[in-house]
């Protein structure tokens, strides 16, 4: 099982990197700003997920717990929200030059795979604590500040719900941000609770018997 899991993680990481790389080539070829490209939370989260999957695939699991479990958890929270926000807010939005297969990989395949990897395939060696949920909220908070500051400076926002001109001003942005923060909080708590309880892990082991 560990060998198969490592291989699956490596394949998923390669798929995500291939999707991001292909889309980046198209965007640069169309004179699209590389900095804008890497200002999408989806792209950043998938890059982080690919790196975490590769690190997890290349090293044997620890029975004492280590930073990789924390990294897997943070990545799972990010990817869960990527999938939820896309389905709820962006599924019917014009995606421009985004290739259909890239869209499927980044917004559907990777979120589901990373979450399953966390809760169903390999539980953390040591249960994580509430402080790890707080840690999972740091990256989204920093990202939001970056997007709003840069957007105000250059007049470009990666997502329509973060653009004050599209949502009735910064009050609208605050409402959307609060909703997404709640999604992060809910997803983070659920993923922490599921992995800590081992419910899905025990269910998987029972099924394999």
Q: Please write the tens of the pLDDT for every residue from 15-50.
A: 999 999 999 999 999 989 999 999 999 999 999 999
Mean pLDDT over the full length of the chain:
89
Range of the domain at 83: 2-208
Does residue 94 or residue 105 have the better pLDDT?
105
38, 68 Cβ separation under 8 angstroms: no
Residue 106: name the closest of 200, 28, 24 by CA: 24
Please tell me the predicted confidence (pLDDT) of residue 111: 97
Domain count, the chain: 1
Please tell me the predicted confidence (pLDDT) of residue 96: 83
Structure tokens at 47: 């890059």
Please tell me the predicted confidence (pLDDT) of residue 207: 37
121, 204 Cβ separation under 8 angstroms: yes
Whether 175 has a pLDDT exceeding 70, the answer reads: yes
Greatest mean pLDDT among 65-74, 95-104, 151-160: 151-160
- In degrees and rounded to multiples of 5, residue 145 shows phi and psi of -60, -45
Does residue 124 or residue 114 have the better pLDDT?
114
Q: Please write the tens of the pLDDT for every residue from 98-109.
A: 999 999 999 999
Residue 200: name the closest of 90, 124, 149, 86 by CA: 124
Greatest mean pLDDT among 61-75, 118-132, 147-161: 147-161
Whether 134 has a pLDDT exceeding 50, the answer reads: yes
195, 127 Cβ separation under 8 angstroms: yes
* Res. 198 pLDDT band, cuts 50 70 90: low
Please tell me the predicted confidence (pLDDT) of residue 126: 76
Read off the pLDDT of each residue in 157-174 and give the average, rounded to a whole number. 96
Residue 81: name the closest of 176, 187, 205 by CA: 187
Please tell me the predicted confidence (pLDDT) of residue 60: 65
């Amino acid at each position: 099982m560990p060998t198969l899991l490592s291989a699956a993680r490596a394949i998923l990481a390669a798929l995500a990197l291939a999707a991001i790389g292909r889309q980046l080539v198209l965007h640069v070829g169309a004179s699209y700003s590389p900095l804008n490209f890497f200002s999408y939370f989806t792209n950043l989260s998938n890059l982080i997920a690919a790196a975490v999957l590769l690190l997890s695939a290349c090293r044997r699991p620890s029975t004492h717990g280590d930073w990789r479990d924390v990294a897997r958890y943070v990545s799972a929270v990010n990817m869960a929200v990527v999938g939820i926000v896309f389905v709820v807010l962006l599924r019917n939005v014009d995606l421009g030059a985004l290739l259909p297969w890239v869209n499927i990989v980044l917004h559907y395949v990777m979120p589901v795979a990373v979450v399953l990897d966390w809760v169903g395939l390999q539980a953390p060696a040591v249960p994580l604590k509430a402080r790890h949920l707080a840690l999972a909220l740091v990256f989204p908070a920093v990202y939001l500040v970056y997007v709003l500051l840069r957007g105000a400076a250059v007049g470009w926002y990666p997502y329509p719900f973060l653009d004050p001109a599209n949502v009735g001003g910064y009050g609208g942005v605050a409402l959307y941000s609060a909703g997404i923060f709640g999604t992060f909080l809910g997803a983070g708590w659920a993923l922490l609770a599921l992995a800590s309880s081992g419910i899905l892990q025990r269910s998987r082991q029972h099924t394999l018997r």
